[in-house]
Amino acid sequence: MCAPAIRSLLPHQIADLHDHFSLLLPRIELHGCIYFRHLPPHRKEEVLQEMQALAWAWFRRLARRGKNPNEFVVTFCRLLVRAINSGRRVIGQEKGKDVMSRLAQKRHGFTVEPLPTSNSASHAKLYSAAHGQQDHDAMEERLQDNTLTPVPDQAAFRIDFPAWVQTRSDRDQRIIDELMAGERTFDVSRRHGLSPGRVSQLRREFHDDWLSFNSEKIDSQSAFAA
């Protein structure tokens, strides 16, 4: 049936319009399967469903204008997969700043994954990646309960930490403040004219020196008590 015959979208003509769309649907699915062949099965199925829904919305809109997409099916399918790939959905455009939006994840280069049900990991998983053990340790640290530090320990830290910081140079004190504020190693290194590797070394040096400072303090207190 030619385009003028599907120009009207009265309720009793929807079924006829759907028949025309059914002729186009196999081409849409085939084009989507090829274009999104790199996606995992569950994600691919979701995208194909979005394609069909958006294609139906576009098909109806073109029908109102007296056009039949079956006459330019290749162009229709190409525009459709590009729209889906850029975040277009039947309910609207995906938000580019929503962390759960795949468009935002693709644009900014990050992923959202579920937390593991267990903190155990196999030897192969830990050592097959360059920083497998380090990443696993960081995950475990973040999953620990945020317990409240006992008041005596808080008071001791507020006294001891400033005293320890004063034993470091002015540059080291600034670096310590920036690292404690959550600054990235790369940003700190650029600010102080150092290499990122050197900042990482200083971080470890600060850690060891702080432990040594506390150990000496405990030894001196023990000697005084004796």
Helix axis angle, 41-64 relative to 73-85, nearest 10°? 130
Q: Which carries the bigger pLDDT value, residue 7 or residue 157?
A: 157
What dihedral angle (degrees, nearest 10) is formed by the CA atoms of 89, 95, 96, 100? -100
User: Rounded to an integer, what distance in angstroms lies between the CA atom of residue 134 and that of residue 126?
Assistant: 9
Share of the chain above pLDDT 70, in %: 65
In a domain, 77, yes or no: yes
Domain that holds residue 80: 3-108
In a domain, 126, yes or no: no
Final residue in a domain of this structure, among 108, 134, 165: 108
In a domain, 139, yes or no: no
Mean pLDDT over all residues of the chain? 77
Final residue in a domain of this structure, among 108, 143, 170: 108
> Which pLDDT score, from 0 to 100, does residue 8 have?
47
Q: Contact at 8 Å (CB) between 104 and 97? A: yes
> Which pLDDT score, from 0 to 100, does residue 84 have?
83
The most confident of the ranges 20-29, 69-78, 107-116, 202-211 is 202-211
User: Rounded to an integer, what distance in angstroms lies between the CA atom of residue 97 and that of residue 13?
Assistant: 41
Q: What is the pTM of this model?
A: 0.41
The per-residue pLDDT for range 29-43, each reduced to its tens digit, is: 888 888 888 888 888
Beta-carbon neighbour count of residue 19 at 10 Å? 11
Q: Contact at 8 Å (CB) between 44 and 84? A: no
The residue type of 66 is G
Q: Do 72 and 155 share a domain, yes or no?
A: no
Final residue in a domain of this structure, among 53, 75, 108: 108
In a domain, 118, yes or no: no
Region 159-187 average pLDDT? 90
